[in-house]
Amino acid sequence: MTDRPTTSYEAAGVDIAAGERAVELMKSRVARARRPEVVDDVSGFAGLFDASALLRYKRPLLATSTDGVGTKVDLARRLGVYDTIGHDLVGMVIDDLAVCGAEPLFMTDYIACGKVVPERIADIVGGIADACALAGCALVGGETAEHPGLLEADEFDVAGAGTGVVEADRVLGPERVKAGDVVVAMASSGIHSNGYSLVRHILATTDLTLETRPAELDRPLGEELLTPTRIYARDCLALAETGGVRAFAHITGGGLAANLARSLPPGVDAALDRSSWEVPAVFRLLQAHGDVPQAEMDKTFNLGVGMAAIVAPDRADEALRLLASRGVPSWPLGEITEGTGHATLR
């Protein structure tokens, strides 16, 4: 009888020892992303959160959101930079919760990769943990899955889910918005995590590369493109505490007007003033090199506005002062008028 090689999980491409090493490397950073309500589960199969903390609410509503980072992960892979993509994930998930006024409580993550490289996984999860700490939520668990044969060794993707809580009578949204309200813009840190399929197309079809150092940016384009998503959760909650906020709009896929329209009731419009801010250089650079029509830019990118608040007209100045004190660049972006539920950039 001819001897055959022993069949094993490792021979199939899954390295359990590497996964265990990754867990050890990330432990110290994950430990910083805690809240007092987190209860340790020694088995590690589930994250536990003490729900008795919700007893301080009269009628607590749980809010949940899930998202990923999209094709921005490809640029992170190509540049070998893994400690910022977690900020993008938390921004996409947790800032969606903030839109309704929910305080983020906890988050879980999922990473799929072709091969577990412990240091790389630890950097990704460490970035998620650091961003959770910034957002004020706990990272209570996650999963790393090795998919040999489905993903190349250096390929990966990330996703996450978050849970928050808001008092039922303090939920923010379209039903609170009125004609005469003011739209306040909060600056983005850059492209954030939407529109990267178009970015990659421009890189593939023009003379731009990740190593290009445009005079407008004063640093390599790749570094600019990996700028982490600004996390607004705590700023939005502080703004909501003032009592002047009607609604928020997280400016993600679909652009400024389309996302703001989601926070409008049928009887009003949002008239947004293009001249109220200067579109950041990275957007202008991509538009010029890619010959991208303005309408396409408008529906693809945030163009420098990462979050918008709709506030009562007599509270707009207060909102701007508060955001400035928290280090968030902001400005009056437009106003709410009678209309049919649309937002328009003029």
Which CATH homologous superfamily contains domain 14-49+57-167?
PurM-like, N-terminal domain (3.30.1330.10)
What is residue 8's predicted lDDT score, i.e. its pLDDT?
55
What is residue 11's predicted lDDT score, i.e. its pLDDT?
57
What is the location of CATH 3.30.1330.10 in the chain? Answer: 14-49+57-167
Distance CA(16)–CA(170), nearest Å, equals 46
Sheet strand arrangement including 268-272: 245-250, 305-311, 182-187, 330-338, 268-272, 343-345
pTM over 0.85: yes
Three-class SS of residue 332? strand
**DSSP designation for 207:** S
Query: 88-142 pLDDT, tens per residue?
Result: 999 999 999 999 999 999 999 999 999 999 999 999 999 999 999 999 999 998 9
Distance CA(208)–CA(212), nearest Å, equals 6
**Is 174-345 CATH 2.70.210.12?**
no
What is the location of CATH 3.90.650.10 in the chain? Answer: 174-345
Three-class SS of residue 326? coil
Three-class SS of residue 310? strand
Distance CA(130)–CA(132), nearest Å, equals 5
By the 8 A CB rule, do 247 and 182 touch? no
By the 8 A CB rule, do 40 and 138 touch? no
